[in-house]
Amino acid sequence: MTDAVISRVTSAVTLLKAPHFGDARGWFTETYSERRAESAGIDVRFVQDNQSFSAATGTVRGLHFQRSPHAQAKLVRCVRGSIMDYAVDIRLGSPTYGKWVGAKLTAEGCEQLYVPVGFAHGFVTLEADVEVAYKVSDFYEPDCDGGIIWNDPTIGIDWPLPEGGAVLSDKDNILPTLAQFESDFEYNGVPLQPLTGI
């Protein structure tokens, strides 16, 4: 039996590892605990669960966010396979505006990335047949849907892609650059910090 490991990096982006219990039959994990989330500084109410399946290695989903009045915080985990998961600071006035952090999330490791309001989110699959599940703090509203192009050179995410390059949706392939984006997210006084503990 292992205890939950919490890597508290800021009140902005937080990396968690769920408790994981194994025996001869396999394993069990507690995928969400409000008490554990609150102890890590995550004080939001999640109202919807989403899940995606990506068939190809190198599938990129992002960089996405939802604007006010339906802005979403997310709690992301990989339930099959592995991904590199990213959060980009898009809070107006932030000293870390346009900067990013990333973490590898795996089904076996039970890691979770909390992405609060004010950050764009995206991930790339590191293998075939990957499933990702995430909780959100507000319902999906198409009129509030937003994004930034995944390969914006001013953001400079180092995506681990296979030889064939990224697999993208038509929508994600035509998102605006950070320079074309007008943020209405406010800086909360906490700059983005590097993720640690994984």
**Predicted confidence (pLDDT) per residue in 114-166, tens digit:** 999 999 999 999 999 999 999 999 999 999 999 999 999 999 999 999 999 99
When the pLDDT of each residue in the chain is averaged and rounded to a whole number, the result is 90
Give the tokens for residue 48.
Answer: 């919807």
Mention every residue, 6+ apart, whose C-beta is less than 8 A from residue 108: none
Residue % of the chain over a pLDDT of 70: 92
Concerning whether 134 is annotated as a catalytic residue, the answer is yes
Does 5-173 carry CATH code 2.60.120.10?
yes
pTM: 0.90
More confident position, 84 or 7: 84
Concerning whether 64 is annotated as a catalytic residue, the answer is yes
Catalytic residue among 20, 32, 64, 140: 64
Catalytic residue among 20, 121, 134, 140: 134
Q: Give the chain's largest Cα–Cα span.
A: 54
Give the separation between CA 192 and CA 195, rounded to whole angstroms: 9
Buried b (16+ CB within 10 A) or exposed e, 135-172: bbbbeeeeebebbbbbbbeebebebebeeeebbbeeeb
